[in-house]
Structure 1
Amino acid sequence: ARADIVIATMLFMEDHFLPVLPALRARRDHCDAMVCLMSATEVTKLTRMGKFDMSGRVSGPMAFLKKLRGKSTADVNTSPEDKSSAGARQMKMLRRLPRILRFIPGTAQDVRAYFLSMQYWLAGSEQNMVNLVQFLVERYATGSRRDMRPRCVVGAPLEYPEVGVYHPRMKQRLSASVADLPLVATTGQRGTVGLLVMRSYLLAGNTGHYDGVITALEARGLKVIPAFATGLDNRPAIEGYFQRPDCQPVIDALVSLTGFSLIGGPAYNDAHAAEDILARLDVPYLAVTPVEFQTLDHWGASSRGLLPVESTMMVAIPELDGATGSMVYGGRGSASHVRCTGCAKACTFEAVEGSHDMQTCSERADALAARVGKLIDLKRSARAERKVAAVIFNFPPNAGNTGTAAFLAVFESLYNTLAAMKVQGYTVDM
């Protein structure tokens, strides 16, 4: 590694950070600054910015900041309301900290620079990324690079809605008000879909995978509310745009396009909190997957499909929340313009070399829209008209084992289920 200023972010998984950890450690004491944000402890401790060194004992400004942090949301005594608002409180504190530290001399100024760097990164628009680099160069460039400092024009972190709605046809693309959604998103008569998308992709303008799904859903006569929240806790978006004040849902189906769990993302998940808010919504919930760690053409040509890490983070963990219907709907395009062989369309995903921007798999996006439409049609239909299939134990097959699962009253349970369904309005002849 030869970089003079090193920025490392989102390195949570051992498969990702262990290969680069030796290079980071080797470069740490020889670069002008190393800024490690939102990563595993092994990576974060490598942060070194001026007098601020995370590898040492916590003291001074950092000890003071720990006192301001408040109680953890992992505390079993923390109320659901407190857990739901924890992300908002943390973001509020993140904005306040630089203002507090501004008046404390010494190491506190480098701690302030660390939190300002995090502000730039979390609101990761192109302009904020430019300002982040200029900010670090202006403050930490040394040696022959010190002459670059006066040439840096640093702007304050630009702020964007922390919770809001998105649509590719909105002039400003992001808004805190659902009333700003264009007519094409709000005039469908078939039902309403709540879409969860990631704010980081929106700020980066890397939204091709989301845009294709939005278009496919609208083409099938569905209203679409694409919403986002800061961080990886989607409850503020759900509570703000998919529910009325009395907690009644305004959507007929919930679809997460994030590829991660409903609450927690790739590093952890809070399945109990997800269960609570999904139970209140009481609508079909699908969590679908963009391929993040390979390109779409690689995925299309692969006999394996998803990589193990993708299957774990993007399929298995969301299923713990109660998600169903996992499928790929898009992912990273290939700058080599290779034709995808995943279906007969043989798409070529246009991308700038080295960018690997996100793209929609149009065949899968259309299949997803069809699936969501049918789920909404089913949800809106009269219960007496629905056809329900029951699958019961029968293994090994053709050996008289139907309904013989050990210690389970299969037929009694099936009878009780049918009786309960009849009470709730289903047509059942018993």
Structure 2
Amino acid sequence: GYRRWYSKRSFKSQVSSFKLEDQTGTLGLEPESTIGLLLMRPQIVSNTHKHYDGLIRAIEAEGLSVIPAISTLMDNRQACERFFVDRGEAREGRRQKAGGRKQRATDNRELITDKNTRSRVSQIVSLTGFSFVGGPAMNDSDAAAEYLTGLNIPYRSLVSLDTQTIDSWRESPTGLNPVQTGMQVAIPEIDGATEPFVFGGIPERGVEPAPLWVRCQRVARRLKRWQRLQTSPRSEIKLALVVYCFPPNKGNIGTAADLDVLASVWEVLKSLQNEGYRVRIPESVDALRAMLLGGYAEVAGATANVAYRMDVDEYARLCPFIGDIEAEWGPAPGAINSAGGELLIQGIQLDNVFIGVQPTFGYEGD
């Protein structure tokens, strides 16, 4: 139903994630920019889905499409098979000929994944708040991990505040209560999910879930950025590596319990270059170490090369939590990793790869 409705409105809304599937002008969704959403059936049938609506609007505002699917609670693989993957007759024939690979299912059904499967979505986002296989009563993480590995599609699991109100969550110094944390963060992560981000919940005096609009927008922006990472050429992707530096001021940059970190980093850089990422590789591990520990370090009085000096105004613009940080640690830029009223960002830039040094926190023995 959503796909038919979407095809009627997409030209008007100027959403970019569609394509003409054939010469007849049939409008379909472009898998690379389509998000698969797993929804709770009780929320749909009881018409208490405003938090879903808010998130979908935010995602579409980023130029992405959505395929919402109602979860059966006990086994999300069924919804994924029905709405998020397209096996096709030819692929199905090849699978049957090859024998396929069967998956365990808690309801005694057998779901098949194979390399001939074509995905209809670029990411799967669960809004159910429960495990991928097993629902609220149990979880079969092995089956979930096996199935999701076969799909090879990123899996996210967002958080709707079900056992605490929005107000209590905001006022609590610990945030999510233990039930929410265990059910909606820990178990989905065991399944393989990422992004346990709160997007809605029940207000203090409310009776149904409501969207947290600003957070819905943040989720949508993150999904858009994940999508951009999936579809961009590797030569255009920028990466950052952060090397170990603790205890502070003890010459421990890149040591990490006596491991030869910089030698490993050098090998990683070579692998990245071989796989198509744009990176400038130093001549040797020693050259890499000299670049990282030397350079502008002595001039700035830092422990490593200073790649960038950030003024306080820029820091305040980029860090939305500056008020909370300054309340505990004092006004920026502070006395550590700073000079001349600026924050010192330590590291080296190697084309599209930045190697940063773990920021110093505190003093040895404090």
Regarding TM over 0.5, the answer is yes
The structural deviation recorded for 1:212 is 0.9
| Counterparts of 2:181 and 2:166, CA distance in 1 | 15
Corresponding residue for residue 279 of structure 2: 428
The structural deviation recorded for 1:368 is 0.8
2:167 is equivalent to residue 314 of structure 1: no
Corresponding residue SS for 2:278? coil
Task: Say if 1:408 and 1:188 are closer, same or farther in 2 by CA, change over 3 A.
Answer: farther
| Counterparts of 1:292 and 1:369, CA distance in 2 | 21
Corresponding residue for residue 270 of structure 1: 140
The structural deviation recorded for 1:179 is 4.5
For the 8 Å contact 2:72–2:79, the answer to whether it is kept is: no
Q: 1:297 aligns with which of 167, 170, 183?
A: 167
The structural deviation recorded for 1:406 is 3.6
Larger strand share, 1 or 2? 2
2:200 is equivalent to residue 330 of structure 1: yes
2:58 is equivalent to residue 188 of structure 1: no
Corresponding residue for residue 347 of structure 1: none
User: Residue by residue, what CA displacement relative to the aligned partner does 1:119-141 show, whole Å, maximum 9, x if unpaired?
Assistant: xxxxxxxxxxxxxxxxxxxxxxx
The structural deviation recorded for 1:360 is 0.8
| Counterparts of 1:408 and 1:321, CA distance in 2 | 31
| Counterparts of 2:126 and 2:141, CA distance in 1 | 15
Corresponding residue SS for 1:194? strand
Number of equivalent positions: 236
The structural deviation recorded for 1:371 is 1.1
Task: Say if 1:334 and 1:391 are closer, same or farther in 2 by CA, change over 3 A.
Answer: same
Corresponding residue for residue 137 of structure 1: none
Task: Say if 1:428 and 1:228 are closer, same or farther in 2 by CA, change over 3 A.
Answer: same
Corresponding residue SS for 1:311? helix
Q: 1:390 aligns with which of 241, 244, 253?
A: 241
Task: Say if 1:221 and 1:289 are closer, same or farther in 2 by CA, change over 3 A.
Answer: same
Q: 1:238 aligns with which of 54, 66, 80?
A: 80
Corresponding residue SS for 1:317? helix
Q: 2:48 aligns with which of 195, 203, 206?
A: 206
| Counterparts of 1:180 and 1:266, CA distance in 2 | 32
| Counterparts of 2:276 and 2:58, CA distance in 1 | 33
Aligned residues: CA RMSD: 2.4
The structural deviation recorded for 1:181 is 5.5
Q: 1:217 aligns with which of 49, 59, 75?
A: 59
For the 8 Å contact 2:73–2:136, the answer to whether it is kept is: no
Corresponding residue SS for 1:329? strand
For the 8 Å contact 1:291–1:331, the answer to whether it is kept is: yes
The worse-fitting range, judged by mean Cα deviation, of 294-303 and 192-201 is 294-303
For the 8 Å contact 2:157–2:195, the answer to whether it is kept is: yes
Corresponding residue for residue 405 of structure 1: 256
Corresponding residue SS for 1:294? coil
Task: Say if 1:428 and 1:242 are closer, same or farther in 2 by CA, change over 3 A.
Answer: same
User: Residue by residue, what CA displacement relative to the aligned partner does 1:159-213 show, whole Å, maximum 9, x if unpaired?
Assistant: xxxxxx7x6xxxxxxxxxx556664579732411111111222122221111111
Corresponding residue for residue 381 of structure 1: 232
The structural deviation recorded for 1:265 is 3.0
For the 8 Å contact 1:185–1:225, the answer to whether it is kept is: no
Q: 2:158 aligns with which of 288, 301, 317?
A: 288
Amino acid at match of 2:77: R
Amino acid at match of 1:398: N
Corresponding residue SS for 1:293? coil
User: Residue by residue, what CA displacement relative to the aligned partner does 1:30-79 show, whole Å, maximum 9, x if unpaired?
Assistant: xxxxxxxxxxxxxxxxxxxxxxxxxxxxxxxxxxxxxxxxxxxxxxxxxx
**Which residues of structure 2 form unaligned runs of 5+?**
18-32, 88-115, 282-366
Task: Say if 1:235 and 1:368 are closer, same or farther in 2 by CA, change over 3 A.
Answer: same
Flag the structure with more relative contact order, 1 or 2, with Cα contacts below 8 A and sequence separation at least 6. 2
Amino acid at match of 1:360: P
| Counterparts of 2:63 and 2:80, CA distance in 1 | 22
The structural deviation recorded for 1:388 is 0.7
Amino acid at match of 1:235: R
Task: Say if 1:256 and 1:372 are closer, same or farther in 2 by CA, change over 3 A.
Answer: same
For the 8 Å contact 1:284–1:375, the answer to whether it is kept is: no
For the 8 Å contact 1:233–1:264, the answer to whether it is kept is: yes
Corresponding residue SS for 1:205? coil
Amino acid at match of 2:53: D
| Counterparts of 2:272 and 2:229, CA distance in 1 | 16
For the 8 Å contact 1:194–1:254, the answer to whether it is kept is: yes
| Counterparts of 2:61 and 2:159, CA distance in 1 | 21
